[in-house]
Amino acid sequence: MRLRPIFALMVIAILLHIGSVAAQDQGFNLIVVGDPQPQTEAQISALEREIIPQIATIIEEYKASGYPTAILLTGDNVWDTMKFMPRVKSAFESLGVPLYSVIGNHDHDRRVKHNQTKAERHYITTFGPRNQSFILGETLFVTLDNIEYSTYHDYTSAVDSEQLAWLERTVGEHPDIERVAVCMHAPASKIYEATLRPYAEPIREIIGDRKIEFITGHAHRHATVDITENIVEHSVAQVSGNLWFAPICADGTPRGVFCIEERAGEWQWRHRILGEESDYQLRIWPQGTVAENEDYIVVKVIGWDEKWVIEWSENSEPRGEMEQIKIIDPDYTYYVENKANYRKKYMDRLRRSARPHRHYFRCRPSSENSEITITATDRFGRTFSVSNKE
């Protein structure tokens, strides 16, 4: 039987809608924002006028995917300035997608001492209970308060028994979900040792053999570490750079957000530099420009982890893998010494926070006129390339 045109169009629309819903049921896009932490009017204005519009651009890109998009804040939503909490929430809600959050140490009212419940009241009034659960795609997300707070300078990383009981009930309500994302402020692991901190062991025991993805902030640097085959921690860099005083975090991670994409139950992720295309993952320095590496071409692999492979070729001839080095980021050093202009205590803080990191690689060309192409392949098989002749 031949359908009339109007009915044919209706059938097509219904099928497209069903297909769209099916696609959305199998995935999501999550934009993780590390430690917004505005302390001054200038900083929160920069969040509203600069950071938020750049995140909006990423959300617009994600609309074409057909999957729902949400935002997660990793805590320290403010920098002890409780009056800014509603503005921070309003700024992110203006993006028009679901907003989730965890509480950080700077989200506690520093005027309150030895009373954690009272110190957290501003956060809870604004963002809701410290323990929340939600499902995106095929993943169960839970938020935990892992800041055991006494005073501004006296706090530790811990999750109390009340929260562990809540976690056990919540996980038990979803026996068929195979991946649990545990969202907290402070790290769950000793990142550079790839071992869980003692306080996180009960969390692992409750969740059991399912895949666990810890999503945390607090450390102001990017790191993804495989703790076991089924446990990964994503330590998300600060969205504003280094405490709003430099556009690059002290580990060299540029100002940006951490984007997680789930498709058909599988995760992929990358660090997205604000204001740049999604495939901008490599920063190259020519010979003679990186201190103590003047004979080498040096590249920074943004979002690097142990499962990346970094290779180079010279004049189209493959040269194998690059040599990994541990250095302080040259761009960070240049910014602090040549562009930053703050009071002495802030300049001291900027210099003091710089540490060598491992997402740098180098190669020595046989000729200074050679064309060098660097290709980085991440754990998902995505490749990114850059050339010294570009």
**Domain segments of the chain as ranges:** 28-273, 282-387
Q: Which two tokens stand for residue 93?
A: 């809600």
CA distance 249 to 239: 9
CB atoms closer than 10 angstroms to residue 164: 15
Q: Which two tokens stand for residue 238?
A: 């600060």
Buried b (16+ CB within 10 A) or exposed e, 62-101: beeeebbbbbbbbbbbbbbbbebbebbbebbeebebebbb
- What residues contact 201, with CB distance under 8 A and at least 6 apart? none
Matching CATH number, 28-273, of 3.30.930.10, 3.60.21.10, 3.30.67.10, 3.40.1390.10: 3.60.21.10
CB 191 within 8 A of CB 200: no
pLDDT of residue 25: 58
Write out residues in the chain with pLDDT < 70, as ranges.
Answer: 1-25
pLDDT of residue 335: 97
Distances, alpha carbon 322 to alpha carbons 309, 311, 314, 318, in Å: 9, 5, 12, 11
pLDDT of residue 16: 42
Q: If DSSP codes are grouped into helix, strand and coil, which group holds residue 137?
A: coil
pLDDT of residue 8: 40
pLDDT of residue 390: 84
Q: If DSSP codes are grouped into helix, strand and coil, which group holds residue 256?
A: strand
CB atoms closer than 10 angstroms to residue 352: 9
Tell if the pTM clears 0.75, that is, is over it: yes
pLDDT of residue 191: 86
CB 215 within 8 A of CB 175: no
Q: How close are the terminal C-alpha atoms of the chain, in Å?
A: 59
